[in-house]
Homo-oligomer: A and B are copies of this chain.
Amino acid sequence: MVTKADILERVKRRGERVTLPRLAVIEALCALNSHQTAQSIQQHLAGQQIDLEESTVYRVLQWLKDLGIVAQTDLGQSGITYEVVSTPPHHHLVCLVCGQIQDVDDSVLEPLRRHLRADYAFEPRIDHMAFFGICCRCRSAGSVDREDAESLPPR
């Protein structure tokens, strides 16, 4: 778990300026779960009487991304989401039925990486991936059986 202090230290060590909007976005990213959009961050801060311009949020997020502190993922549903890069890397299972997002360990991708390197001479950089499917709860809820699942759209 990366804390606000961790990030601030890294930022300062690089000689970057620390401003209120930057502090606020960093704090929001640490306080909230992963997969925040620019909007959700802005709203979270607005709830604390910190009102930032949307463009500012985007600029701060871009800046944090350039510094390698946050990662972008396109979950394909509601725009681009951001989250603090944590060690170790992980990935996400997005349920097509209920929208629930579950984290999975990076190790699930090792076999795939080996395969791509060996058979395709491709050096994968799979930092942060989203896989779609049906989560255990929706499967057992019976609202969606295997047949229905098959007819769901790809995303």
List the one stretch of A30-38, A43-51, A115-123 in contact with chain B. Answer: A115-123
B125 touches A115 (CB 8 A): no
A149 on interface, CB distance cutoff 8 Å = yes
Given A74-B76, A155-B72, A125 and B133 contact (CB-CB distance below 8 Å): yes
A131 touches B123 (CB 8 A): no
The residues in A between 88 and 144 inclusive whose CB is less than 8 angstroms from any CB of B are 93, 96, 102, 104, 108-109, 111-112, 115-116, 119-129, 131-136, 139
Q: How distant is A111 from chain B, measured CB to nearest CB, in Å?
A: 4
Name which residue of chain B comes closest to A133, CB basis. Answer: B124
Range for the number of chain A residues in contact with chain B: 35 or more
B154 touches A72 (CB 8 A): yes
Main secondary structure of the interface of A (DSSP, over half): mixed
Given A104-B116, A116-B108, A131 and B126 contact (CB-CB distance below 8 Å): yes
Q: How distant is A139 from chain B, measured CB to nearest CB, in Å?
A: 6
Complex A-B, nearest 9 residue pairs according to Cβ-Cβ distance, in ascending order: A121-B136, A124-B133, A111-B111, A127-B154, A123-B134, A125-B133, A108-B115, A93-B122, A74-B76
Starting from the known contacts A93-B120, A121-B136, 11 additional A-B residue pairs (CB-CB under 8 Å) come to A68-B151, A93-B124, A109-B112, A111-B112, A112-B131, A122-B135, A123-B133, A123-B134, A125-B149, A126-B133, A129-B131
